[in-house]
Structure 1
Amino acid sequence: MKASVIISTYNAEEWLEKVLIGFSIQIESDFEIIIADDGSGPNTKKLIDSMRTNFSIPIVHVWHEDKGFQKTQILNKAIIKSNSEYLIFTDGDCIPRNDFVAIHLQFMQKGFFLSGGYFKLPMSVSNLITKHDIISQSCFDKEWLIKQGLNKSVKNLKLTASPIRAKILNALTPTNASWNGHNSSGWKSDLIAINGFNQEMQYGGEDRELGERLINMGLKSKQIRYSAICIHLDHSRGYVNEQALAKNKAIRKSTRENKIIITDRGIDSSL
Structure 2
Amino acid sequence: MKISVIVSVYNRFEYVLNILRCLKTQTVKPYEVIFADDGSKESLKEFLKEELKDCTFKVKHVYQEDIGFRKCKSCNNAVLESEGDYLIFLDQDAIFPKTLLEEFLNLASKDKFSILRVLWSSDSERKEIGALIDKKADYSEFLKVINSDEKKKLKKYLFRDRYNNFRYSIKLRDRGAGLMGIGFGLYKESYQKVNGYDEDYKGWGGEDADLGLRLYKLGLKSVTFSTKQPSIHMCHPLDPTKTGDKNISMFKEKKKRIRVQSYICEYGLNNRKDEDGYLYEKI
2:33 is paired with a residue whose SS is: strand
What is the SS of the residue equivalent to 1:104?
helix
State the partner residue of 2:101: 101
Equivalent in the alignment of 2:260: 258
- Indicate if the aligned counterparts of 1:100 and 1:229 stay in contact, CA closer than 8 A: no
- Which residue identity lines up with residue 193 of structure 1 in the other structure? K
Q: Residue type of the partner of 1:216?
A: K
- Shifted more, 68-77 versus 49-58: the winner is 49-58
Deviation (angstroms), 1:269 = 2.9
What letter corresponds to residue 267 of structure 1 in structure 2?
L
Percent identical residues: 26
1:225 paired to 2:222: no
Relative to structure 1, is the Cα distance of residues 255 and 85 closer, same or farther in structure 2, using a 3 angstrom cutoff?
farther
Between the aligned partners of 1:237 and 1:174, the Cα distance in structure 2 is: 28
CA contact (8 A) 1:195 1:266 kept: yes
Between stretches 206-215 and 39-48, larger displacement belongs to: 39-48
Give deviations 1:181-240, integer Å, cap 9, x for gaps: 111100101111111000001211201211111111111111223558421011111145
Structure 2 segments unaligned to the other structure (5+ residues): 166-175, 278-283
| TM-score normalised by length of structure 1 | 0.85
Selected match of 1:151 from 147, 152, 156: 147
**SS of 2:151's equivalent?**
helix
Question: How is 1:160-199 mapped onto 2 (pairs within 5 angstroms)?
Answer: 172=162, 176-199=176-199
Quick one: distance in 1 between partners of 2:223 and 2:215? 13
Secondary structure, aligned partner of 1:16: helix
Q: Report the TM-score when normalising by structure 2.
A: 0.81
Cα shift at 1:157: 7.8
Give RMSD over aligned pairs: 2.7
- Structure 1 distance, partners of 2:48, 2:260, is 42
Q: 1:40 is matched with which residue?
A: 40
The C-alpha deviation readout for 1:226-271, integer Å capped at 9, x for no partner, is 5584210111111453523334433443344334311110011348
List runs of 5+ in structure 1 lacking aligned partners. 162-167
Paired residues of 2:162 and 2:177 also in contact (CA < 8 A): no
The answer to whether the Cα contact below 8 Å between 1:212 and 1:255 also exists between their aligned partners in 2 is no
What is the DSSP-based 3-state SS (H/G/I as helix, E as strand, rest coil) of the residue aligned with 1:269? coil
Asked if structure 2 preserves the Cα contact closer than 8 Å seen for 1:100 and 1:228, the reply is no
Over 3 Å counting, the alpha-carbon distance change for 1:151 and 1:56 in structure 2 is: same
SS at match of 1:153: helix
Deviations 1:12-55 (A, max 9, x none): 11111111111111111243111111010124332233321132
Verify the 8 A CA contact 2:94 2:233 in the aligned structure 1: yes
Amino acid across the alignment from 1:205: G
Q: Aligned partner of 1:92: which letter? A: Q
Aligned residues: 258
Equivalent residues of 1:21, 1:135 under 8 A apart: no
Aligned-partner Cα distance in 2 for 1:5–1:101: 9
Query: How do 1:204-219 and structure 2 match up within 5 A?
Result: 204-219=205-220
- List per-residue Cα deviations over 1:51-95 (Å, max 9, x = no partner): 211322221111111111000001001111111110001100001
CA distance in 2, matches of 1:26, 1:135: 16
Deviations 1:157-200 (A, max 9, x none): 85xx9xxxxxx969856685232211110010111111100000
Select between 25-34 and 64-73 the one with higher mean Cα deviation: 25-34
Whole-Å separation in 1 of the counterparts to 2:141 and 2:188: 31
Read off the aligned partner of 2:64 and give its amino acid letter.
H
Q: Distance in 2 between matches of 1:21 and 1:217?
A: 35
